[in-house]
Each structure stands twice: as structure tokens, then as C-alpha cells.
Structure 1
Amino acid sequence: MIQDTKENIIVYGHTHIQFDRIIGDKRIINAGSVGLQSRANGACWLLIDNEFFHFKITEYNVEEAAERFLQGQCPYKKDFAEHIRNPPYAGP
């Protein structure tokens, strides 16, 4: 997918897990996910400062967020609440 990409650094999201990898001659950076993170109890995001990339996690009250989902009209609200309470790959 990145074979014909001219840029040397590619920043994206969607996989919900923060990482910084070298694949071939490309640096691939995933910012993470604010709403459906997979490894943290908080909002995962990326700060880009000139040429530096800093992974960030903003912690929040997970139980309160889960309860707000359950009180709303969101489809799959029970699944969202469970995901926030127990990220699938929580850990270091």
C-alpha cells in the first residue's frame, strides 16, 4: 500500500493503537484513537512538534464515560461502554 507513496513519513489513525515503525524506507506513525482506544484508559493522540512526534494519553473518568454511553441513544451503547471500561489490549 505504501510502495508508491513519495512521502517518507506517513501519519494515520484508524487502527486504534499508537505506534511508530519503519517499513522499508518509510516511517509509519499511528496517532491512536480518542474514542475507541485499544491499549489505554484515556484518549490517545499524537502531538507533532516540528520534526518530533510525541504520543499522548489524556486520562478521563472511564466509569463516567461508560455510564454516559449507557444513558444515551447510541447504537451498540453497551458495546461502547464495555470497550471503554476494558480496552481489548490494555497494558504497557
Structure 2
Amino acid sequence: MIHSFGKYVVLFMYSCAFFIIALLVIGLAISSIYYLKDGIFNFPKNQIERAIVFGSIAGTAVWLSILIFNLLGKAKNKNNEQ
């Protein structure tokens, strides 16, 4: 059980990290487009904070859905075995 719990913790960290990095990359891409258009590279600090907050929220939501569907699958398999 502890080994399984550790996998869920690692999955949670990877999920949050993925969405934070994805939002930072999207923000950098948008800032790069504005740089090519206007000649000014503007990547404000609040964009980084926003990426961390929303990335953590999205990572948590995805992790919870994975956890719920996994537990439902285990319960369904347990009922089918009986």
C-alpha cells in the first residue's frame, strides 16, 4: 500500500510540473510573438505566478481524476472477481 501511495505522490508532482512548464512555454511563445511584432519582449512576473497557480490547479485536477478512475477500476475488477 505504501509503495502504491508513493507512486501517486510522484504522479502528482509530475502532473503539476508538466502543467506549470507547459503554461510557462505557452507564455514564452506568446511573448516571443509580441517581440517579433513590436520589438519588445515582455514576460511579466505575474505571468510566472499565474503559470504556477493555474498549473498546480490543473495538475491537481488531472491527478484527482486519475486517482478516482483508478480506484473505480480496482473496485470494478474486485466485483467482477466475486
> What TM-score results when the alignment is normalised by the length of structure 1?
0.26
Ranked by relative contact order (alpha carbons within 8 Å, sequence separation 6 or more), the top structure is: 2
| Larger strand fraction of residues | 1
Question: Looking at CA atoms only, which structure, 1 or 2, has the larger radius of gyration?
Answer: 2
